[in-house]
Amino acid sequence: MQQAAWQRWIPLTGILFVILFIVGGFLVIGPETGTDQSGQKILDWYAKSSHQTLAVAGAYLFALAGVAMLLFINRLRAVVAEAEGARPLFAPFILGGGVVFVVSVAVAGAAFAAVPAGLKFGGEPLPANADLMRFLPQLGFVLVLILGMFPLIFAMLATAYASMRYKIFASWFNWLTIVCAIVLFFAAAFLPAIALPIWLIAASIVLMKHQPTPA
C-alpha cells in the first residue's frame, strides 16, 4: 500500500520538536525566575497574569513537542526494524528510550507550569514565599536533562550500532550519533544539551532519504 503524501514528511518532526521545545522553554522559564534572583523578584514575575499565560502556553508547546518526538522516534524505529528483519532487536529499545524521554518532557512541562496554571485557572493564591517556584523548575530540568536524557542516549547508541551492523545510514551520521550521545551524558551542565538539537536536525534530514518500503 502506497503511503500517504503527508507521511513522507514525518521525519521532519524531529526538527519540529526542536522548535517547539525551545520556544516552549523560553515561555515557561522567565528571565526573572532563576535561582540567583531574589524571592520577591520571582514572586513578582509569577504574579503577572501575562507571565502566567505565557507559562501555560509553553506547557502546551511541550506537549506538542512530545507528540512530534513520538512521530519522529517511531519513524526511526520503523527504518531500523525494516533493516533488522522479522525479529528486530534494536528497534524496540529505540522506541522505548524515546517514549521515556517524551514522558519526562511532559512531566517537566507540568512542573514548569504548575504554579502559573494554578494561579491563572485554579484561582489559587500566590504562595507566601518563592521556595516552590525555585524548586519546581529544577525538577523539570532534572527530568529532561538526566532522567529522560539517559534512556534517549541509549536509544541513540542503539541506533548507531544497528546502523553500523545493518548498513542503514551513512557512516558520518553513525559517528555523529555516537559523539552526540557521549556529549549528552553531560547535559545536566546545560551547554552540552545543544548536542540534542544538532542530532535531531541531522537525523531528520537523514530519515527523509529512508522512506518506508511500500507494502
Report how far residue 148's alpha carbon sits from residue 184's, in angstroms, rounded to the nearest whole number.
11
- 214 within domain boundaries: no
pLDDT at residue number 3 = 62
Residues 100, 108: contact at Cβ < 8 Å?
no
Q: Please name the residue ranges forming H helices in 90-214.
A: 91-120, 131-142, 149-166, 171-184, 195-208
Report how far residue 48's alpha carbon sits from residue 85's, in angstroms, rounded to the nearest whole number.
56
- 213 within domain boundaries: no
pTM of the full structure: 0.91
DSSP 8-state symbol, 34: S
> Tens digit of pLDDT for each residue in 153-177?
999 999 999 999 999 999 999 999 9
Spans in the chain with pLDDT lower than 50: 1
CA-only gyration radius of the chain, Å: 19
Total domains in the fold of the chain = 1
Determine the Cα angle at 156 with ends 100 and 89, to 5°: 85
- 86 within domain boundaries: yes
Residues 164, 178: contact at Cβ < 8 Å?
no
Residues 161, 93: contact at Cβ < 8 Å?
no
- 47 within domain boundaries: yes
pLDDT at residue number 212 = 65
- 215 within domain boundaries: no
Which residue shows C-alpha cell 541509549? 154
Domain membership of residue 75 as a residue range:
5-208
**Residue 200 CB-half CA count within 13 A:** 27
